[in-house]
């Protein structure tokens, strides 16, 4: 176990020194009043990539090097109390730091008891030393701050200092399990309910640092700390002004207390704005575990607060507004239940109203606003994967908005196409498919298909075509109009499909040959271990697009004799025939299971199409 003496030889700063994007600093600190826990330092943030992965950029120190101490502040000490016995309130930020006669007597008594036992403090880092030795935890500090154990905490300034000293723990994750066992994790979380919001913000910042992905913690170490924060009972202490103080257990955890803090933070205040930022950062850190991400999303107040926050009008868009949209996207990606709840909150309508402002206008490049818009699209794309989300999308005229963006948008065009692809897919996509045809959307998407496009755009267009052919009712006007689009102008769309098929097949062939050589050199167990990697390599080479094209061609063969003749003729140019398409469908069907109802329906569809080949 790491020597405690060695730990406290290091400076008590948060972070590992890596460079992350951080909370914007105050441009001119002289224009802002001094505050308990905010300097002009930079704070970290995290970015949600377009594929939904979270990539953090760094960590900010809890205390800047060279930070100057300010004047002593606070009320005068009682006349009968010795000045030397009171720790200085170095930063002049707290009130009520003095002690009364009874408090001083209690302190003197405990001093005497400590001397008799021969106990000493270590290097000014008493709180960390005590919990490491198993003698006492942060709960005693919090209790003392309320006047029950005056020996341990003479003022809130001392509590502030002791909380910040825990930053060093992030450099020693091997102590996380012991920290949790001693009840210190729960005690730290209990400080989120402190009457002084500055103390609560301090605790939030420390929790943010301890749970950050940059901490070199093993999964078990991280889990031991986080589980203690999320699931343990939390001590709350009675008002010290009452005669009968009692300790009780709150039916609350770190998530509930974080949300409660959000309701009392005013972002017009610099420190509170930082507190909101750190709260969102804790949500992001905790959401890296899917079960906790769902717990966060299912909290009665988290999503409503996030929805409210992303709607606040700001010019320019602030970092916290962008971060709120990012956390919302993370929660929606993590859980089906979160997506369903979001749909019930009419979140789809909110997203569409916010995104409608960008149907023709692009946000400033590389700005918080651009990232904000990206996150809104990520949220919308996630929620329309659920049937409930698809219904809300159609009701709120999301298909119409996507159509406008496809025609007139710039940055929004590709995002709208991706969202439309997800909205039309699956069993619940029939209504969206019909609406797209009703609003003359076929002309738009087929027009895009015939122009030169990047691979992602082609992939989404192919997905939309496959959904239309699968979901539109047989013999309906919408289906007939869709089929007519493939047949017009001497089957030019089918020619384009065959051309694309050959391009993807040529890219996939060398990858499959390499995989086959590897397969022959491995035994059966090793082949099973490599199956996932092999599939990933094939998908990167274009397997998914090739399979989607063959499904579309199979539908056209089944629907129209003229289309079947044209497809057979085009394949014959290279001595190929419909068996090539049949083989692809057979491979897709063999990879599907029978347990999932959605996969079972897809398997039945593929089996039926194969009969026409």
How far apart CA 274 and CA 333 sit, in angstroms, is 26
Q: Residue 388, exposed/middle/buried by CB under 10 A (0-12, 13-18, 19+)?
A: middle
Where among 437, 456, 487 does a domain terminate?
Answer: 487
**Residue 284 and residue 304 in one domain:** no
- Is the domain of 468 the same as that of 579? no
Residue 522 and residue 469 in one domain:
no
Domain span including residue 477: 292-487
**Domain-embedded: residue 134:** yes
Could you give the CA distance from residue 46 to residue 596 in angstroms, rounded to a whole number? 35
- Beta strands of 157-268 (E only): which ranges? 234-237, 247-250
> Which DSSP symbol is given to 170?
G
pTM for the complete prediction?
A: 0.74
Q: Does 211 lie in the same domain as 184?
A: yes
Residue 383 belongs to domain with CATH number: 1.25.10.10
CATH code for the domain in which residue 164 is found? 1.25.10
Dist CA 287 CA 283 (whole Å): 6
Kindly state the tokens that stand for 521.
């050199």
Query: For residue 424, is it within any domain?
Result: yes
401 & 339 share domain: yes
Residues 169 and 275 in one domain: yes
Q: What is the pLDDT, as a whole number, of residue 53? A: 39
- Quote the distance between the C-alpha of residue 416 and its chain's center: 21
- 487, 514, 533: which is the final residue of a domain? 487
Residue 221 lies in a domain: yes
Q: Is residue 496 part of a domain?
A: no
pLDDT of residue 492: 95
Same domain, 329 and 416: yes
Q: What pLDDT is stored for residue 236 in this prediction? A: 42
Residue 31 inside a domain? The answer is: no
- Whether residues 217 and 327 fall in one domain: no
Which tokens belong to 400? 């119409």
DSSP 32-70: S---SS--S-----EEE-TTS-EEE-----SS-TTPPP-
Number of domains in the chain: 3
Claim to verify: residue 473 and residue 508 sit in the same structural domain: no
Reduced to 3 states, what is the DSSP secondary structure of residue 379? helix
456, 487, 518 - which closes a domain:
487
CA atoms within 13 A on the CB side of 55: 9
Flag whether 524 is in a domain: yes
Q: Find out whether 192 and 259 touch, Cβ atoms under 8 Å.
A: no
**Angle between helix 197-211 and 254-262 (nearest 10):** 130
Q: What pLDDT is attached to residue 184?
A: 85
Left, alpha or beta for 366 (phi > 0: left; psi -120 to 50: alpha)? Answer: left
pLDDT per position as a tens digit, 369-383: 999 999 999 999 999
> Does residue 483 share a domain with residue 508?
no
Tell me whether residue 80 is in a domain: no
Task: Give the three-class secondary structure for 27.
Answer: coil
Beta-ladder partners of 55: 47
- The backbone torsions φ and ψ at residue 235, rounded to the nearest 5 degrees and listed phi first, read -80, 140
pLDDT, tens only, 84-98: 444 444 444 444 444
DSSP letter for 356, please: G
Q: Is residue 305 part of a domain?
A: yes
Residue 98 has what pLDDT? 44
If you compute the radius of gyration of the chain from its CA atoms, what whole number of angstroms results?
31
The span from the CA of 180 to the CA of 556, in Å, is: 62
The answer on 309 and 268 residing in a single domain is no
The stretches in the chain having pLDDT less than 70 are 1-154, 231-252, 593-598
Same domain, 281 and 296: no
CA distance 234 to 215: 25
Rounded-to-integer distance, Cα 543 and Cα 153, Å: 65
DSSP string, 226-257: HHHHHHS-EEEE--TTSSS--EEEES--HHHH
């Amino acid at each position: 176990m790491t020597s405690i003496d060695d730990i406290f030889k290091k400076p008590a700063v948060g972070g590992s020194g890596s460079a992350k994007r951080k909370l914007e600093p105050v441009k001119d600190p002289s224009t802002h009043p001094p505050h308990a826990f905010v300097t002009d330092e930079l704070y970290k943030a995290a970015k949600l990539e377009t594929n939904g992965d979270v990539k953090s950029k760094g960590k900010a120190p809890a205390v800047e090097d060279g930070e100057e101490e300010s004047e002593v502040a606070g009320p005068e000490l009682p006349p009968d109390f010795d000045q030397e016995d009171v720790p200085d309130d170095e930063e002049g930020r707290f009130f009520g730091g003095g002690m009364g006669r009874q408090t001083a007597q209690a302190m003197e008594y405990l001093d005497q008891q400590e001397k008799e036992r021969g106990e000493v403090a270590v290097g000014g880092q008493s709180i960390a030393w005590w919990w490491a030795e198993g003698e006492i935890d942060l709960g005693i500090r919090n209790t003392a701050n309320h006047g029950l154990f005056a020996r341990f905490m003479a003022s809130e300034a001392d509590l502030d200092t002791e909380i910040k000293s825990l930053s060093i723990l992030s450099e020693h994750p091997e102590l996380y399990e012991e920290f949790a066992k001693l009840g210190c994790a729960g005690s730290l979380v209990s400080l989120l309910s402190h009457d002084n919001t500055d103390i609560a913000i301090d605790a939030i910042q420390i929790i943010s640092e301890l749970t950050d992905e940059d901490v070199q913690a093993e999964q078990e170490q991280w889990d031991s700390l986080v589980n203690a924060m999320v699931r343990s009972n939390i001590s709350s202490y009675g008002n010290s002004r009452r005669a009968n103080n009692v300790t009780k257990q709150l039916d609350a955890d770190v998530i509930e207390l974080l949300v409660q803090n959000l309701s009392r933070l005013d972002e017009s205040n610099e420190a509170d704005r930082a507190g909101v930022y750190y709260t969102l950062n804790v949500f992001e850190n905790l959401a890296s575990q899917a079960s906790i991400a769902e717990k966060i999303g299912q909290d009665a107040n988290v999503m409503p607060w996030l929805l409210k926050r992303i709607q606040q009008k700001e010019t320019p868009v602030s970092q916290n507004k962008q971060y709120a949209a990012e956390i919302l996207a993370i929660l929606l990606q993590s859980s089906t239940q979160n997506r369903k709840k979001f749909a019930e909150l009419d979140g789809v309508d909110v997203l569409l109203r916010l995104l409608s402002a960008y149907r023709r206008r692009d946000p400033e490049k590389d700005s918080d606003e651009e990232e904000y818009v990206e996150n809104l699209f990520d949220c919308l794309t996630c929620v329309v994967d659920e049937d409930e989300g698809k219904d809300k999308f159609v009701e709120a005229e999301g298909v119409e908005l996507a159509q406008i963006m496809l025609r007139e948008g710039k940055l929004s065009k590709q995002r709208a196409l991706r969202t439309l692809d997800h909205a039309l897919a699956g069993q619940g996509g029939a209504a969206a498919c019909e609406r797209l045809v009703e609003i003359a959307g076929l002309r738009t998407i087929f027009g895009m298909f015939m122009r030169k496009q990047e691979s992602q755009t082609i992939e989404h267009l192919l997905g939309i075509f496959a959904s239309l052919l699968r979901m539109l009712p047989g013999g309906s006007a919408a289906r007939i109009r869709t089929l007519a689009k493939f047949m017009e102008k001497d089957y030019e769309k089918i020619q384009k499909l065959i051309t694309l098929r050959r391009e993807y097949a040529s890219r996939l062939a060398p990858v499959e040959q390499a995989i086959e050589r590897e397969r022959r050199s491995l035994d059966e167990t090793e082949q099973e271990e490599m199956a996932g990697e092999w599939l990933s390599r094939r998908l990167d080479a274009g397997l998914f697009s090739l399979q989607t094209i063959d499904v579309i061609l199979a539908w056209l063969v089944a629907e129209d004799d003229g289309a079947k003749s044209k497809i057979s003729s085009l394949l014959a140019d290279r001595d190929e025939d419909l068996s090539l398409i049949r083989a692809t469908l057979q491979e897709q069907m063999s990879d599907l299971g029978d347990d999932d109802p959605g996969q079972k329906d897809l398997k039945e569809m593929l089996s039926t199409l194969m009969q026409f080949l």
